[in-house]
Amino acid sequence: MRQQCDIKNFIFNTALLLVGVLCCVSYAAGLGTYSGGFERIPLTTEAWGRGNAVTANPQYAAAHINPANLGFTQGFQLGIGNTIRPLGRYENFLSAEYKIPDKRIGVGGVFTYKGIANLDGLRNDGEIYNSTSYINTTLKLGTGAIISANWAVGFSATWFYSRIPVAFNPDSRSIATNTSSTIGGLSLMAKYKNNNGFSGAFGIRDIFSYSDWSYKDKDESTWIYAITDTMPMLFVAAAEYEFGILDTQTIKISADFNGYWINSFFERYEHVALAMNYGFEWSPNKVISFRTGIRDILLNRNFFADRPVWRDENNPRIGFGVGINLETIPNWNLSRKFGVNYAVANSGAQAGFEHSVDLVFRW
């Protein structure tokens, strides 16, 4: 009887996923890109392993992924992670979530660092210049509130900071850098979950996300702010279905749909697009989980109008991961719950593999 119910729920929730796809396809047609290195890439190792399809039910770093999930947080949770990417790039994050006792409100924050801390060996006319750096950091603060037994809403805001090398200085053999510091990146999200293992989410991410780049005229002593780079605004719909098999095993199937329609200041793109992410997780027991997924499957107008061009534009990435939950190991007293996650994925430039590892503590 239980297996029959699971099959019915699986069919029902799969149908909801298909409806979501059809709704999103109606406006899918060129994919916006982030400026300043704020890329559309996974943040957590869980997301790297599951094709970045975790918006419906993120296990940690919710302020970055889906602030509505902060309403369903229990206790205090801390996450820390590192990703090594090709071409010497590193990415790190530190996240925290806390559910206010006896309240329907949870709060959280995520700090991220992306870039190359030590760019050395750069040459101009054969001369080696002093080391410099390329840095992108964000700080997201969010809150989520439960509004009913099944629904929660959330909000987050972001501080963006970037520093990039822009010019050689022959006199000092140094490299000039420009910086940008802005506040925006507003996200408005909603989450639904029921007792049958289904979770869904929808909303808007990155409203008023931008970078202000400045330059200094050679004949002037003051800085002149000349360029504003706007980032895409994302329309997000996501779903996840978790069900049990053979009494001790669980499976999670998830999908994210990111629509690129307008930029963060409400200016419509000439060619809008849809990026799709799909994830799968199998847990044979309570200790270990195996993950896989595919992300950034692109659907735009060239899918119908010019299939060879679409093949060049479409560049999906596949990820694999494993998670270990040490909560169930006897005599493990470090914390109420301690998890270790690892994932590997191919890079977008096909320049090698990207490796991610993180730790999650819960009290």
pLDDT range class, residue 157, cuts 50, 70, 90:
very high
pLDDT of residue 25: 34
Quote the CA–CA distance of 62 and 180 in Å, as a whole number: 25
Residue 33: which of 23, 41, 44 has the closest Cα? 41
Quote the CA–CA distance of 38 and 216 in Å, as a whole number: 24
Task: Assess whether pLDDT exceeds 90 at residue 228.
Answer: no
Task: Assess whether pLDDT exceeds 70 at residue 301.
Answer: yes
Q: Which domains does the chain have, with CATH numbers?
A: 2-362 (2.40.160.40)
Mean pLDDT value of segment 156-173? 83
Which amino acid is residue 210, in one-letter code? Answer: Y
Quote the CA–CA distance of 107 and 205 in Å, as a whole number: 18
More confident residue, 186 or 12: 186
Q: Residues 282-308, buried b or exposed e (16+ Cβ, 10 A)?
A: ebeeeeebebbbbbbbbbbebbeeeee
Phi, psi (rounded to 5 degrees) for 24: -70, -35
Q: List, for residues 88-129, the tens digit of each pLDDT value.
A: 778 899 999 999 998 899 999 999 998 776 666 666 666 777
Helix (H, G, I), strand (E, B) or coil at 243: strand
Beta-ladder partners of 231: none
